Amino acid sequence: MKKKILVLGSTGKTGRRVAARLENNTEVKLRLGSRNEKIPFDWEKPETWQNVLKDIDTVYITFQPDLAVPFAAEAIENFTQLATKAGVQKIVLLSGRGEKEAQVCEETVKKNAKNWTIVRASWFNQNFSESFFLDPILYGIVALPRAEALEPFTDADDIADVVTAALLDEIHNGKTYDLTGPRLLTFKDAVNEIANASGRNISFQSLSLEEYVQMLKEYQIPDDHIWLVNYLFEQVLDGRNSSVTSDIEKVLGRKAKDFSVYAKETAKTGIWNPEN
């Protein structure tokens, strides 16, 4: 009998990668969870939850924009209760490494799910190519606070491989995995690696958090996005995540992807060339 898996956030950085890994698996019946699907799903519209959960065995939860936002805890509580009531046998949660609010949501999943796996990650490599750091890189000037913070940037492909393993294999039930890349880099180190890989001159400027928030306001970035970025830089980049783990190797039997490999692979796509 096929395993019926629901991937929430199926257009996001990890969700679409997990979906791609599952769609050709003959043992899986895949359902995508996003606003634009035939059976739509929206975290802010609980009336969409019941239909998307019908006949589902296993759920991958990614919460947009982040488990740290104020309404996340209540949404995760209500959704996981509904999922288990609807017959879901397992929930895999993408959580934020070092985020207290995310850990509240983790405990909710553990309490409400029949079986669970928690997958923690912090800053993705792909934030530089698929998210809010792409535009500054294209412009050639990346200005950020916490320039001295050391972060074990983690590749979204590695995260997706771990999540896929957790969805398919019961050996991962009851496990919490802390995922990191293989080494610590500052944001300046990461930008320099991208500059080298893409053959471009990209400068890095260190700002105070106040200066950074003001800059985002001047660029008319939405308030909720500014709140989240401020939270991440203020709370999470205080050194609490400045360590590497071997959990990716433990689950996958291979080393985590290094940032330099990501930079070289991504540079070949041309995404960092302004003329593209």
Residue 92 lies in a domain: yes
Residue 168 lies in a domain: yes
Gyration radius of the chain's alpha carbons: 19
Residue 163 lies in a domain: yes
Q: Do 88 and 97 touch, CB atoms closer than 8 A?
A: no
Residue 49 lies in a domain: yes
Q: What is the tally of structural domains in the chain?
A: 1
Q: Do 113 and 85 touch, CB atoms closer than 8 A?
A: no
Which pLDDT does position 229 carry in this prediction?
86
Q: Do 259 and 183 touch, CB atoms closer than 8 A?
A: yes
- pLDDT tens for 7-36 read 999 999 999 999 999 998 999 999 999 999
Residue 187 lies in a domain: no
Residue 112 lies in a domain: yes
> Which residues of the chain have a pLDDT value below 70?
276
Q: Which domain range does residue 171 map to? A: 3-121+156-179+243-254
Which pLDDT does position 276 carry in this prediction?
57
Report the CATH number at residue 83. Answer: 3.40.50.720
Q: CA geometry: angle at 181 spanning 68 and 204, to 5°?
A: 80
Residue 20 lies in a domain: yes
